[in-house]
Structure 1
Amino acid sequence: MKIKWNKILLLVGMAFYVYGLKLAYTDFISPVFTYFGFINLHPSTSEQFVSIVFVFIPLLWSNTHAYRPSRIVYWILYMMVYVPAMIVPDYVRMDNFDEILILKCVLLFCMALLYMTANFKLIPIYYVKIKTKVMMILITLFSLSLWGIIVHTFGIHFNFSQVDDVYDLREAYREQVNRFSGYAINWQSKIVNALLLALGFVNKNKLLICIGVLGQLFIFSITGQKSVALSSVFIIVIIFCLRKNGRNFVLYFVYGITALVFLTMALDLMTNSSEYTSLFIRRMLITPGLLLSYYFDFFSVNPQVHLSHSILEPFMTYPYDQLPPFLIGEHYFGRPDLAANANIWADGYANFGYAGIIGFTVLLVGILYLYDSISEHRNFIVSAALIAMPAWSLVDTSLITSLLTHGILIAFIINYFLKTERKADPLYERNHRFKLRSSLE
């Protein structure tokens, strides 16, 4: 019997990742941020064991490579939303053997749905032929128009003297931003700059890479949003992990995030602070799980909103005087001005309960399936980089908001019209039927 070493390495990597998250929460985050809701109720061994079982079940059907963009989205949601959603509630809830077990089962089902997306037989896509040079000119004009809106709204200045106090930057940004400049910031940082980085690496063009990175830094100097500054690193890491058409992407990705978790704890130990764990672990990895727990607890006993604050607003009456993120911010954090923006599944539960979680997942599956089909004859790294940042936004944003505001539709348009050369790989260039596969090694 052949030993599947990649599968063993994946299990080992995930074991270290789970241990790292737990250690970071109990020893670094909770002691400092208890006042902010990151409490530690010292869950029992049985509660923690059940949560870990939920974490590892998806690994039974998972392999260690990504051959379609939908798999990139799957692993982003698994590592940054699903795993924290299994672990973090144990520490903040009195009873983890109540209805939250149903929530975890529903999330597990949703992960299976997302994973199967890459096994569907792709539909044939008719491409409208536009010369690559013409498309690049159009993208350049689009980018220049976005920069024009940004500069007109915020001016030309690098506020790096204020980077140490990002809250001042964010406050100034909120006072100046409007609907158009908000879209411009999101589309430029999450789509255009990501495209420049991907094209730069694929074509070995250092100029494009520099433009993409500098663009992100400039936008960070305006917004003070650390996610913008980190996004350059995130995209570069994704591109690095996608070498050889995504073979062993999962191992690179899992071990990369795990290394980040332990590195940040080591840095805080050396500096006797909580700055690094707060930025990289609390904000990026722990908070999505915490907020999903809070959304679940709140909307289990209070009226769900049924999109009455969104696309169904003309047809329904919204039952609250605040939007859901501000409701959670006031109820659990004691700050009515805090927007506790939640992920795709927390938003789904706030709207329609379990049906909302499954419904939005099915919608995401359809979106990713169409994106996979469009990407079949496009460069894999470019296609993946275009969808990676909008997928990252699903960690703390609803699917409906991500479609337009965070650029999913823009990624579709660019990937459809921009012809990029796909590197041939006979081992993985195949259609996969609707079935779960334990491995493809």
Structure 2
Amino acid sequence: MKNGSSNKIELSVFFRSFLVIVLYRLVLDLSYILVISRFFNYEGYYLIINKLKVLESYLFLIVLGAFILVFIYFRIRVFPSEFLLYLLFLFTYIPLGSLYALCDKPRLFFYYSTFFWFLLIFMYYVFPIFKVRRVRFSKFLFLTCTILFNMAVLFLIFKYLGISFNFDLSLVYEIRSRYVESNIPFAGYLFNWVGYAINPLFLSYVFNKRQWLTFIFSIFIQLLLFSQTGLKSFLFVPILVLGVNWLYQKYGSKKLYLLTTLLIGLTVALGILSYFLMGDIWVSSLLTRRTFYVPALLSFYYYDFFTSRGFTYLAQHRLFGGFLKYPYSLNPPHLIGSVYFGTPEMGANNGILGDSYMNFGFLGAILWSFVLILFFKILDSFCDMDKNEVLIGPLAVFANAFTNSALLTVMTTHGFLILLLFSIIIPKNRIKYRSEG
């Protein structure tokens, strides 16, 4: 009886999650029709509804949505990178399908993205995790490495910028300019590694352990990074990490997916209500257009440009530039900024979809999905149920990174590889949690 009851619960959550995914797409479409296309038409967000493409995009969404949810809700073992994979589905594929249908974008690239996502989901659930040995003295290594990295950041900020705090969002561009001009050694890597990988992981660990003194220190470093670099993401990372951790602990791994989709959909709906009730488009611009539709639009621009001019085959990266010739005077983000926005200074960075196609064309779907899943499986190999709730919040941070930046950039500059290395030495977490929703 217990197994039958459990299966009914799983089935119920599955259908609710599936319904919420479709509703999320509907709300995105409404936001695009009522707000985005009306006020941001000059940026390329035209309203050209193609009924056949609307039907196509919803059919593929239903198939892929069911595909990923079946594996999520009917598997016994839960792995942390699965949540990141699901967030990427919400952040990349669904908005791209919306733009494809409502702006009459190229069918071939939409099919490419659908194929890419089919491969990602298939590989993730078919490929096994690796057998690895546990690391001895992991707690000592984890705390020592974390403190050393944090102290290095503290030293560099103190030496080159001074210790001060700013919470005025209107000054971020001025602060960012000052930070760039300071030319701090290794800051481009070190600050990102600490702010996006090491500190979120440490924050999650000490929060779960209720170690409040070290928790305050972790928040202090995060606020200092925001104040001295002007990068708003450093400010919002703790909110995201702690929010995901709280949902995971309170509702369990299964309901986390349902609630996350619901919250994202409500955020998009909030932007629509904000416009109709107060005439304000700021919420829709920042949370809907910037988060979901800008990466989707840029993906189509990358497809358009590199289809007609040839692929880069990684020649734009320093690692490969020595023996591969890069044919342009500008790097890809500034190239797209120059051609499609008339602003060479604009860095029109794109995520895994545009990046994979830019480098290898249709072969990129196979190569990049394989590389991404390989690293996800390595990460999962070092995790057990005790580590899940420590990792799941920090991993959510990288959903935005993979949506807006090239794969190799996320791995190196943004610190995903650092997160992977630190996941090996995370001490076991003994706080009780709910694994079933």
Q: Is the TM value for this pair above 0.5? A: yes
Do residues 110 (structure 1) and 119 (structure 2) align? Answer: yes
1:401 paired residue among 392, 403, 409: 409
Distance of aligned partners of 1:211 and 1:275 in 2 relative to their CA distance in 1, 3 Å threshold: farther
Do residues 23 (structure 1) and 30 (structure 2) align? Answer: yes
Q: Which amino acid aligns with 1:385?
A: G
Do residues 325 (structure 1) and 336 (structure 2) align? Answer: no
Partner of 2:361: 353
Q: Post-superposition shift, 1:133? A: 3.7
CA contact under 8 A between 1:169 and 1:222: conserved in structure 2? yes
Q: Post-superposition shift, 1:131? A: 5.2
Q: Post-superposition shift, 1:191? A: 1.5
Query: TM-score with structure 2 length normalisation?
Result: 0.88
Distance of aligned partners of 1:210 and 1:286 in 2 relative to their CA distance in 1, 3 Å threshold: farther
Residue 320 of structure 2: SS of its match in structure 1? coil
Range moving further from structure 2, 251-260 or 60-69: 60-69
Partner of 2:131: 124
CA contact under 8 A between 1:113 and 1:362: conserved in structure 2? no
Partner of 1:36: 43
Partner of 2:323: 315
CA contact under 8 A between 1:82 and 1:107: conserved in structure 2? no
User: Using the alignment, how far apart are the partners of 2:360 and 2:371 within structure 1?
Assistant: 14
Q: Post-superposition shift, 1:305? A: 0.8
Distance of aligned partners of 1:155 and 1:427 in 2 relative to their CA distance in 1, 3 Å threshold: closer
1:46 paired residue among 45, 52, 60: 52
Q: Post-superposition shift, 1:232? A: 2.2
Structure 1, unmatched stretches of 5+, are 429-440
Range moving further from structure 2, 396-405 or 218-227: 218-227
Q: 1:37-87 CA distances to partner (integer Å, 9 max, x unpaired)? A: 2222x2122211111222221222214558101211211210111111222
Query: What root-mean-square deviation, in Å, do the aligned CA atoms of Structure 1 and Structure 2 show?
Result: 2.6
User: Using the alignment, how far apart are the partners of 1:172 and 1:114 within structure 2?
Assistant: 44
Do residues 181 (structure 1) and 187 (structure 2) align? Answer: yes
Range moving further from structure 2, 379-388 or 336-345: 379-388
Q: Which amino acid aligns with 2:332?
A: P
Partner of 2:268: 261
Residue 186 of structure 2: SS of its match in structure 1? helix
Range moving further from structure 2, 45-54 or 144-153: 144-153
Structure 2, unmatched stretches of 5+, are none
Q: Post-superposition shift, 1:165? A: 4.3
CA contact under 8 A between 2:156 and 2:184: conserved in structure 1? no
Partner of 2:150: 143
Distance of aligned partners of 1:391 and 1:378 in 2 relative to their CA distance in 1, 3 Å threshold: farther
Q: Which amino acid aligns with 1:301?
A: S
Identical pairs, percent: 25
Q: Which amino acid aligns with 2:111?
A: I
Residue 164 of structure 1: SS of its match in structure 2? helix
1:292-307 matched pairs, under 5 angstroms = 292-307=299-314
Partner of 1:284: 291
Q: Post-superposition shift, 1:18? A: 0.7
User: Using the alignment, how far apart are the partners of 2:434 and 2:27 within structure 1?
Assistant: 38
2:396 paired residue among 388, 391, 396: 388
CA contact under 8 A between 1:149 and 1:184: conserved in structure 2? no
CA contact under 8 A between 1:306 and 1:352: conserved in structure 2? yes
2:178 paired residue among 172, 179, 187: 172
Range moving further from structure 2, 140-149 or 264-273: 264-273
Do residues 199 (structure 1) and 205 (structure 2) align? Answer: yes
Q: Post-superposition shift, 1:254? A: 0.8
Q: Post-superposition shift, 1:206? A: 3.6
Do residues 100 (structure 1) and 106 (structure 2) align? Answer: no
Partner of 1:436: none
Q: Post-superposition shift, 1:365? A: 0.7
User: Using the alignment, how far apart are the partners of 1:424 and 1:221 within structure 2?
Assistant: 35
Question: Which structure has the highest helix share of the two?
Answer: 2
Q: Which amino acid aligns with 2:120?
A: M
